[in-house]
Structure formats: C-alpha cells, structure tokens
Structure 1
Amino acid sequence: MDKKQDQTFDIIEVCLLAGKIMLRGGAETYRVEDTMMRIAAAYGIYHSHSYVTPTGIIFSIDSHHPTKLVRIVDRSTNLQKVAKVNSVSRLISSGDLTVKEALEQLKEIERDALAYPTWVQIAAASISSGCFLIMFQGDWTDFLPALLTGGIGFSCLIYFHQLVEIKFFAEFLASLIIGLISVLFVVFNIGTELDKIIIGSVMPLVPGLLITNAVRDLMAGHLVSGISKGAEAFLTAFAIGAGVAIVFSF
C-alpha cells in the first residue's frame, strides 16, 4: 500500500512539474491542463482535476490524496522547453517512460537554460527591427538606424529587467530610450522617417505571444486566464506606448 501511495505521489509530482515548465515557458492554459491530465491518465489515474492560472497550478486526483498547489512567480517565452515537455508527454502516453524516468527527464528540462545567448537575442532583435521597418513601408535609408535602435532598445530591456524585477518598468524605460535614439538619428539627418524607425524598433518588445495565448484561452473557455493574460498584454503595450509618448511630448 505504501509503495502504491509513493507511486501516486510521484505521478502527481510528474504532472505538476510538466505543467510548471510549460506554463513558465509560455504555453497556453488549456494546453497545460490537457497535458497534465493526459500524463495522469497514461499512468492509470483517470479522474484527475487541474486548474491552471498564469500564476499558479492546482492539481488533484481524488479525495484520498491531498490537493497540490504550485506557485508560478516568473514567466518567459521558451517554446523549446514546451516542445520538450510535449515530447516527454507523448513518450509517457505511449508507455515508453516509467514514472521515475519521466520525473528525471522533466527535472533535467527544468534545469537546462535552453535559451539562446544574450548576444544572439540582441542580434535577432536588431535584424527584425530593420525588417519590420521595411515591412511597414519604411525607406531603406532608415534600415540601419532601425537596426541599431532596436538592438540598443532590446539590450536596455534585458539590462533593466535584471536590475528591476518589474517587467513593465523595464519595457517603459526601453521604449523611452528607443524613442530618444530615434529622435537623435533624425535630428542628425541619419534617419528620415521618425515614426517608421520607432515602430520597427519597438516591435521586438510587443507582447505577441501573450496576446495570442489570451485569445486562444478565451476561445477555449478559460476566462480567468484569458482575461489576466490580456490585461498583462495591455499593460505591456501601455508601457511601450507611454515611453514613446513621453519622447514625443518633449
């Protein structure tokens, strides 16, 4: 009986760890809940219940075992971790992983950074800023200013986020610096269209994944998660717009 109970606790641990990694990596709420219940069903627990919000996971299997709660403090975008957890979930569903093996693999996924180096992220933000400028029908003469402005702005975002844990404050300061640098480029006749440079440069800061997940959660019937993610996306967009608006006001 004790061995069976220990096995049940390990299954709960596997479900919670998989949900935690996915939620912190930017997965949709309904996908997290579905993955947790599928893992539990694959191990013989067919009556599990999961309730997921952007800041926490509640998981229960029946009245004989305690309900578990996991608090989610920080969230980012790491879709590679989400994909790896999905791969582990498929192996569990096909019966190729034991509970212990699944738990070890999930712990390894949680430990691994699985993120691109900072310089690669900055380079990608720079190139995408220039490409967004062209996409919004900007002039090719503004490609280099947008590339530099976007790279500097994204660097500032990473730096300020390390100094202050408040995400919206970092985004506000980054957009403020983007606006100032864009103005300087135009003043010194290096750039021509101020609005296109700013629009292209702030695009790497725009919360596209948040907006997408908010809509998908709302369509799936997860109203609490959808509204909360939508509110977070709105605050992020407001912080970006406020930073640029302050530059224009002066």
Structure 2
Amino acid sequence: MTNDQGHLMIKTALHAGRIMIENGSEVARVEDTIRRIALNAGYPDSKVYVTITGIMMSISGEENAQIEPVTSRSIDLEKITQVNDLSRHFAAHKIDLAQFDDRLTHLDQHPRYFPVWLQLISAGLVSGTLEVVFRGNYPDFLVSCLIGLVGWGVFYGMSQLVRVRFLSEFLAATAIGILAILAVKFQLGTNADDIIIGSVMPLVPGVPLTNAVRDILAGDLVSGIARGMEALMSAIAIGSGIAMILQAM
C-alpha cells in the first residue's frame, strides 16, 4: 500500500467518524465503523481513538497519523445510517475509497433534514401524546400540542440565530412556561404543570443521555462523562427556563 493510499484511507475513515459523532452516534459504533473501513482498505493494524470532541487515527509502522476535530453535535440518525450504508458498499467493493470520500463530502454538505413544518407538527404531537401518557390529562391534549409546537419553533429559530444549544433550550423552555401559565389563566387549559411536562418533552436530551450510559458501560469513560455533562447542561437549561417563569408568575 502506498502512503497516498494510506492517507486517503485515514482521511475517509475520519470523515465518516466525524459525521457519525456529530449526529448522535455512540463511540463504540464509530470505532467499529472506522476499523472496518481500515480493514476493508487493507490496513488491519490501524489504531484509532475516538472521543466526542475529536478522533485520532494512525497506521502501525507509518508516519501519517491524523486528527479530526468534532466541533458541533446534533441528532440526525439518518446520517448515521447513510454512513453505515456507504461503509457496507465499500466492504462489498461497490465503491472505492475515492468514491466513498466523495459521497461522504456530499452527505456532509447536503443534509436531508425533515422540513420545518413537519418538525413542528411532530413536536406538537409528541408533546400532547406524552402529556396524556405521563399525566393522563386528556382535556389538555390540544393545548399541549400547540404549546409544544411553539416551543420547538422557538428552539429551532434560536438555533439558527445563535449557535449555543443551551441558550436555545433555555429560551424555548421559558416560552413554554409562559404559554402554559397563560393558557390556564385564560381557561384554555386546566393544569399548567401537566402542560409544561408534555410540552418540554421534545427538548429533553434523551439520545445524548442514552449514549452517555452506553459509552460508560462500554468503557469509554471520557466520552460517556462528557456526553453526560452535555445532557445535564441541557436539562439544567430547560429546568432553569421553567423555574424562572414559575417563580416570576
């Protein structure tokens, strides 16, 4: 294998790993995918170290180690699936390394997000449904749907303006708290606590918390603790927004 081929393999593997980490994959899955790419490219002795803030990889006996920083994190499980599909195509020799890297670049630059209107409707339905499941309050189903929809709209809008996830969650939770209290005040709802519980559910960091537990159980303590702190900060931001409104109103 040439040095250029090894360089391209590491570049492609790190590219795939970064996309997976950025979109919510657990560390063990990323490590497995990178190792499979290296093995299928003819490098069975590659070394890889993955955290949620960066990935390091090298080939034993060669001086071409590379580091790929991870600067943003969100949730897009479809991207993770697409990266895994490309890895399988590479393993089956349907594409070569250059094509693999090109398709990863296209995937990275042209994300296929669900349209905003569908995200809003989904957030509303999740809010109302979970409000009924957790609290059994059927009269507040529709108002929970509406407030959950608005809360997600605030979160989405602020995320586009300010690249600070915790601030977006705080402001969204604040909006939910205000609307829930006003809904009860104007007799559009019956219980503000139930409405708030349902409406904040789309904001709850369920995937990061689950991945934190999985990483810790798999022995990836650094990434597990980091993910856990990230989920905790999100929970604190949401709780602080609600608490501030309940205290003020």
Measure how far apart 1:230 and its partner are: 0.3
* Identity within the alignment, %: 41
- 1:157, 1:48 → 2: CA distance? 41
- Alpha carbons 1:214, 1:225 under 8 Å: kept: yes
Q: Once the two structures are superposed, what CA deviation does each residue of 1:138-190 show, in whole Å capped at 9, x if it has no partner? A: 32221111011101111101111222211111111110110000000000111
Match of residue 140 from structure 1? 138
Quote the Cα distance in structure 1 between the aligned partners of 2:177 and 2:48: 44
- Residues 151-170 of structure 1 aligned to structure 2 (within 5 Å): 151-170=149-168
Measured in 1, the distance between the counterparts of 2:95 and 2:161 equals 41
Q: SS in structure 2 opposite 1:75?
A: coil
* Structure 2 unaligned blocks of 5 or more: none
1:136 partner SS: helix
Q: In the aligned structure 1, how far is the partner of 2:133 from the partner of 2:50?
A: 37
Q: Name 1:201's counterpart in structure 2.
A: 199
**Matched ranges for 1:8-47 at <5 A:** 8-47=6-45
Q: Deviations over 1:191-220 (max 9, x none)?
A: 001111000000000000001100110111
Q: How many residues matched?
A: 248
Match of 2:104 in 1: 106
Task: Report the TM-score when normalising by structure 1.
Answer: 0.96
Instruction: Please report how far the alpha carbon of residue 66 of structure 1 lies from its aligned counterpart in structure 2 after TM superposition.
Output: 2.3
Match of 1:218 in 2: 216
* Worse overlay, 100-109 or 150-159: 100-109
Asked if the contact 1:138–1:193 (Cα under 8 Å) also holds between the matched residues in 2, the reply is: no
Q: Which residue of 1 aligns with 2:93?
A: 95
Work out the CA distance in 1 between the residues paired with 2:68 and 2:98. 20
TM-score (norm 2): 0.96
Give the match's secondary structure for 2:67.
strand
Matched, 1:85 2:93: no
CA distance in structure 1 between the aligned counterparts of 2:42 and 2:69, rounded to whole angstroms: 26
Q: Deviations over 1:72-97 (max 9, x none)?
A: 11111111110011111112223332
Computed over aligned residues only, the root mean square deviation of the Cα atoms, in angstroms, reads 1.2
More moved, 223-232 vs 135-144? 135-144
SS of equivalent to 1:57: strand
CA distance in 2, matches of 1:235, 1:108: 32
Q: Secondary structure at the match of 1:60?
A: strand
- AA at the equivalent of 2:92: S
Counterpart for residue 63 of structure 2: 65
Q: Mean alpha-carbon deviation: is it higher for 152-161 or for 94-103?
A: 94-103
> Distance between the aligned counterparts of 1:168 and 1:99, measured in 2?
38
